[in-house]
Amino acid sequence: MTQRAELAAVVDRLAVDELITAYAVAVDDGDWTAYQRLFTRDGRADYRSAGGIEGHAGQIAEWLAESLALFSMRQHLIVNRRVRFDIMEHDTGDTASVRADYLNPMRFATDDGPTAPDLVCGGRYGFALLRTPEGWRLREVVVEEKWRRLPAQGATTP
């Protein structure tokens, strides 16, 4: 690999990392316009393993806005990111896939002051990305919730 190719690979990895971070921030901040801009025009997400829905990014943004309104605090951490780049025959540009683990503590909206999270869940994301003229975008997000804990109830599974 030439130095130029190595530099391009580093730049792509940084851009992909920024996209995944922007995804987490948009969800945590409830910025559903920003959330939708992270996706390709035909981008989809699947939250069914976490009790949600599957659909195009606009449908998912509406569902998330309604579902997450219950929580005044969301602190979505996406870690252990494993990135793979590919060029697929039928694509018009470069593609990438990311598998990453997540930890998501949330607190129900109440008038009480800061308290510990009411709900904590964790699992794994599968992200499929496409390089577009606007930069890297999400083509697909699949959530695989592996566990959920409500402090009063102990650990449960989805």
> What's the rounded mean pLDDT across residues 88-104?
81
Q: Residue 125 is part of a domain; what is its CATH number?
A: 3.10.450.50
Q: For the chain, how many structural domains are there in total?
A: 1
DSSP three-state, residue 50: helix
Closest CA to 61 of 70, 52, 50, 51: 52
Please, which pLDDT band fits residue 123 given cuts at 50, 70 and 90? very high
43-62: buried (b, 16+ CB within 10 Å) or exposed (e) per residue?
bbbbbeebebeeeebeebbe
Measured on CA atoms in the order 59, 95, 30, 152, is the torsion positive or negative? positive
Whole-number average pLDDT of the chain = 89
Please, which pLDDT band fits residue 50 given cuts at 50, 70 and 90? very high
pLDDT of residue 8: 82
Q: Which domain holds residue 146?
A: 3-156
pLDDT of residue 114: 65
pLDDT of residue 112: 65
pLDDT of residue 89: 54
